Copies of this chain bind each other. A is one copy, B any other.
């Protein structure tokens, strides 16, 4: 596949996951590192996200788990908590995913994630 097609597919995928984020990713990186925005779309949202073998719901569950576990990722959690809801995961599945991580990472990282979850849930009506 040529890069142009990877970019188009990646944009379409990010649009599905979080349409608002799709715009702001490009804007924020435009001045200093526009190539990083392209890599996010081509590599992450085309090469990785469009692979078969996992549903989009599974992918978003894996994504928020990885972000919660590494910490210092409130900005990215915001995008992908919206993404979770946009691809059809329930609020319960999101909260249970956070709770499931407690024995693996301890309470502080889970509480940090739940602070972002609380804010996202309050902002949305679904």
Contact = CB atoms under 8 A, between A and B. Distances in A.
Q: Secondary structure at chain A's binding surface: helix, strand, loop or mixed?
A: helix
A106 B29 CA distance: 16
Nearest to A97: B62
Interface residues of A, number: 61
A95 B48 CA distance: 12
Interface string A54-96: 1000110111011111111101100000000000000011011
B114 A58 contact: no
10 contacts: A32-B114, A36-B107, A36-B114, A43-B43, A44-B107, A62-B97, A67-B104, A69-B69, A71-B72, A104-B108
